[in-house]
Amino acid sequence: MVSSINVEKLAERLATETNPLQLIDVREPEEVEIAAIDGFTNLPMSQAHEWIVEIEETFDPRTETIVMCHHGIRSAYACHWLESRGFAKVFNLSGGIDAYAIVVDRSVPRY
């Protein structure tokens, strides 16, 4: 079972966090062009073969990592994979960017 974080808690953490957070968005580039949250690095699931071999060079497995997609399905898969690679503090954004747009920031476009 993947640990999760809700959009309200994410917004609070983004506004107040002093400890480093790693933020990964596994949506496709076209989706990110429509709606995005500042600070997330886009690593599209469809391009995993390109970034998968370098993930541990780019991201620290000991640092808290939050993964996002549109609704939380793809990001849950990515969380499982990251955990299998030794990432210890991985959280799936429940409801994804869609929930963020509904609950936290209505200026974020929905699609």
Q: Which fold has domain 4-103?
A: Oxidized Rhodanese; domain 1 (3.40.250)
Torsion of Cα atoms, 13 then 103 then 1 then 21, to 10°: -20
Tokens standing for residue 65: 């990592």
pLDDT digits (tens, 9 = 90+) for 32-90: 999 999 999 999 999 998 998 889 889 999 999 999 999 999 999 999 999 999 999 99
pLDDT, residue 110, reads 98
Q: How far are the Cα atoms of 10, 36, 58, 68, 103 from residue 43, in angstroms, in the given order?
A: 19, 13, 11, 10, 24
Its pTM stands at: 0.95
Query: How far is the C-alpha of 84 from the C-alpha of 73, rounded, in Å?
Result: 17
Select which of 68, 69, 82, 104 is catalytic.
Answer: 69
User: Active-site residue 79, yes or no?
Assistant: no
H or E element in which residue 65 lies: strand 65-68
